C-alpha cells in the first residue's frame, strides 16, 4: 500500500495520510503503531497528553522499517509553555519516545505563553533535536501573531476538520501562507452520523469503497492531511487504501454541502476542563 506525499514549505516530504493515536492506550498502541508502519504508514501522530509516547516509540522501533522513513510527530501542552519548562518538555518527549530526533514538534494549543514555547522549540531545532515545527488549533489571528516573532515558520496547523466542519476561512488562509492543514477528527471521531450521510453512502456505493474511505479521499482532494485514529488493523488498511480513486468536482461539491460549521469538540468550553486535568498529569508515569 503506497501512501502519496505532499511537499512542505521547507522542502520535506510528508505522507498525505497519517495514523492518529489519541485514546489508544499503551497496551494497544505499541502493536497498532508497528503494524501500521509495516503496512505502509509513515506518519505517526502522538502528544504528551495522550500518555502513550513510550508505546509509540516502541512501535516505531519494532516496526522494522528504517527510522529515516518515518515521521514521528508529538505535541507539548500549554502547561509546559514557560520557556525553560518547554525545553525540558521537549527533551522529556524525546526520552519517552526513545528518539534522538523528533521529526515534527507541535504546540498543542494557542493558549498561554506561546511565544516562550516557540522560542524553546526553535532552539530545539537549532540544536538538532527537532526537524520541523507545527501548531495545532491555531486560528488566523494566532498564526498572524506567531508570524511576528518566529524565525522558523510552522509547516502545518492540526485542526478539527471533517465534512461537518470544513474550516473554509482557515483553510484559505493556510493555503495562502503555504501551511498544510492537518485534520484531526477527520472521520468526525467515528460517530455523529457522517458515515450514514446520503452523499457519503452514494459515493461509497459508486466507488465500491467504505464511507470512511470516501471521507478521507475528500480530505486528500481538498489538499488536507488526515490522521484517522484506529486500533483496528483492518480499518488502518482501509483508511490508507484511498489512492486508487478520485472524486469529480460535482461529487466534491456534494460533500462540501455537508458543512454546518459544527465542531464535535467544543474547544473553548472543553479547554478549561482539560487545562486543569492535564496540569495534574504525570507524563512519566505512562507504560
Ligand atoms: N490536536 C488536537 O487537539 C487533536 C484532538 C483530537 C485528535 N487529534 C489527533 O487526530 C487523530 C484523529 O482523531 P480521532 O482518532 O479522535 O478521530 P477520527 O480519526 O475522526 O475517528 C476515530 C474513530 O473512528 C473509528 N474508525 C477509524 N477508521 C475507521 C474505519 N475505516 N471505519 C470505521 N470506523 C473507523 C475508530 O474506531 P476503531 O479503532 O474501531 O477503528 C475511532 O473510534 C487522533 O488520533 C489524534 O492523533 C488531535
Cβ–ligand 1 contact at 134 (below 6 Å): no
Residue nearest to atom 13 of ligand 1 (CA): 185
Between CA 106 and CA 229 the distance in angstroms is 18
Domains and CATH numbers, the chain: 5-192+218-230+260-275 (3.20.20.100)
Radius of gyration, alpha carbons of the chain: 18
Distance 19 CA to ligand 1 centre (A): 9
Q: For 275-281, what is the mean pLDDT?
A: 65
Distance 186 CA to ligand 1 centre (A): 7
Confidence of residue 190 (pLDDT cuts 50, 70, 90): confident
Cβ–ligand 1 contact at 32 (below 6 Å): no
- For the chain, what percent of residues have pLDDT higher than 70? 94
Q: How many CA atoms lie within 13 A of 278 on its CB side?
A: 18
Query: What is 238-282 written as a DSSP string?
Result: HHH--SS----HHHHHHHHTT-----SS-HHHHHHHHHHHHHT--
Distance 18 CA to ligand 1 centre (A): 11
Residue nearest to atom 1 of ligand 1 (CA): 136
Nearest C-alpha neighbor of 226 from the set 39, 23, 33, 41: 41
Residue located via cell numbers 515558520: 153
Cβ–ligand 1 contact at 78 (below 6 Å): no
pLDDT at residue 174 greater than cutoff 60: yes
Q: For 194-207, what is the mean pLDDT?
A: 97
Q: Do 211 and 199 form a contact (C-beta atoms < 8 A)?
A: no
Which residue is catalytic, options 6, 41, 50, 283?
A: 50
Cβ–ligand 1 contact at 187 (below 6 Å): yes
Q: Tell me the average pLDDT of the chain.
A: 94
Distance 188 CA to ligand 1 centre (A): 8
Q: Do 278 and 77 form a contact (C-beta atoms < 8 A)?
A: yes
- For the chain, what percent of residues have pLDDT higher than 90? 87
Cβ–ligand 1 contact at 158 (below 6 Å): yes
* 267 CA closest ligand 1 atom index: 3
Confidence of residue 279 (pLDDT cuts 50, 70, 90): low
Cβ–ligand 1 contact at 163 (below 6 Å): no
- E runs forming strands in the chain: 5-7, 13-15, 19-20, 43-45, 71-76, 102-107, 130-136, 156-160, 180-184, 225-226
Q: For 47-65, what is the mean pLDDT?
A: 96
pLDDT at residue 22 greater than cutoff 90: yes
Dihedral angle over CA of 33, 37, 43, 45, nearest 10: 0
Burial class (CB in 10 A: 0-12, 13-18, 19+), 281: middle
Other CB atoms within 10 Å distance of the CB of residue 248 = 10
Name the pairing type of β-strands 43-45 and 225-226: unpaired
173 catalytic? Reply is: no
What are the tens digits of pLDDT across the range 110-163?
Answer: 989 999 999 999 999 999 999 999 999 999 999 999 999 999 999 999 999 999
Amino acid at each position: 500500500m503506497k501512501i502519496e506525499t505532499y511537499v512542505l514549505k521547507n522542502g520535506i516530504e510528508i505522507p498525505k495520510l497519517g495514523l492518529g493515536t489519541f485514546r489508544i492506550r499503551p497496551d494497544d498502541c505499541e502493536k497498532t503503531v508497528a503494524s501500521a508502519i509495516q503496512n505502509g504508514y509513515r506518519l505517526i501522530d502522538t502528544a504528551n497528553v495522550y500518555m502513550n509516547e513510550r508505546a509509540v516509540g516502541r512501535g516505531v522501533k519494532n516496526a522494522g522499517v528504517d527510522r529515516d522513513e518515518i515521521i514521528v510527530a508529538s505535541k507539548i501542552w500549554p502547561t509546559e509553555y514557560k520557556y525553560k519548562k518547554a525545553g525540558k518538555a521537549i527533551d522529556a518527549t524525546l526520552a519517552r519516545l526513545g528518539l534522538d530526533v523528533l521529526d515534527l514538534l507541535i504546540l498543542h494549543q494557542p493558549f498561554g505563553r506561546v511565544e516562550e514555547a516557540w522560542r524553546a522549540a526553535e532552539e530545539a531545532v537549532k540544536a538538532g533535536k527537532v526537524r520541523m515545527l507545527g501548531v495545532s488549533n491555531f486560528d488566523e489571528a494566532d498564526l498572524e501573531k506567531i508570524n511576528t516573532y518566529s524565525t522558523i515558520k510552522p509547516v502545518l496547523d492540526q485542526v478539527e476538520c471533517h465534512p461537518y466542519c470544513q474550516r473554509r476561512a482557515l483553510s484559505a488562509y493556510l493555503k495562502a501562507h503555504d501551511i498544510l492543514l492537518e485534520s484531526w477528527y477527520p472521520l468526525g471521531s467515528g460517530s455523529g452520523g457522517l458515515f450514514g450521510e446520503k452523499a457519503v453512502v452514494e459515493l461509497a456505493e459508486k466507488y465500491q469503497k467504505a464511507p470512511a474511505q470516501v471521507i478521507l479521499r475528500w480530505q486528500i482532494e481538498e489538499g488536507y492531511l488526515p490522521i484517522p485514529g484506529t486500533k483496528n488493523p483492518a480499518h488502518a488498511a482501509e483508511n490508507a487504501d484511498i489512492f486508487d480513486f478520485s472524486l469529480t468536482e460535482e461529487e466534491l461539491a456534494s460533500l462540501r454541502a455537508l458543512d454546518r460549521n459544527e465542531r464535535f469538540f467544543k474547544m473553548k468550553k472543553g479547554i478549561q476542563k482539560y487545562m486543569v486535568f492535564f496540569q495534574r498529569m504525570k507524563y512519566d508515569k505512562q507504560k
